[in-house]
């Protein structure tokens, strides 16, 4: 189903817009993966510290390097997810979509309502 110069290549931007413009699922997934990575790095850190204390880890600098990379990478992913959630909410507010579409306006006797309709005659 992947054509470089065909119908699917032209529809790919439309597909991406429809996925990312109206749903915050990718943002929530990013936050979830970041938190999951933080928990993993903390658990892995405890294991590495245990190996370092017992003497089973013979490579110097391994513990500090791995723990720094894992923890900061997961923290960065979580922060990007939170920032993306704020940007998603801000874009939703600034699109100025109406909260409701007025289909019918009641008229009361003795009171004249101003009409927003343009007279095109």
What band does 111 get if pLDDT is binned at 50, 70 and 90?
low
Q: What is the mean pLDDT of residues 68-93?
A: 87
For the record, the structure tokens of 92 come out as: 């939703």
Q: What's this model's pTM, rounded to 2 decimal places?
A: 0.58
Is 24 exposed, middle or buried, given 0-12, 13-18 or 19+ CB atoms closer than 10 A? middle
Rounded Cα–Cα distance for residues 16 and 12 (Å):
6
Return the SS3 of 119: coil
Asked if residue 84 lies in contact with residue 30, where contact means CB atoms within 8 angstroms, the answer is yes
């Amino acid at each position: 189903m992947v054509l470089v110069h065909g119908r699917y290549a032209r529809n790919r931007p439309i597909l991406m817009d429809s996925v990312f413009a109206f749903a915050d699922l990718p943002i929530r997934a990013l936050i979830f993966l970041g938190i999951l990575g933080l928990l993993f790095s903390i658990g892995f850190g405890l294991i590495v510290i245990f190996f370092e204390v017992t003497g089973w880890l013979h490579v110097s600098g391994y513990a500090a390097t791995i723990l720094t990379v894992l923890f900061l990478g997961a923290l960065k992913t979580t922060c990007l997810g939170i920032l993306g959630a704020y940007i998603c909410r801000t874009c939703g507010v600034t699109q100025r979509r109406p909260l409701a579409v007025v289909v019918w306006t009641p008229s009361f006797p003795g009171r004249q309502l101003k009409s927003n309709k343009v007279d095109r005659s």
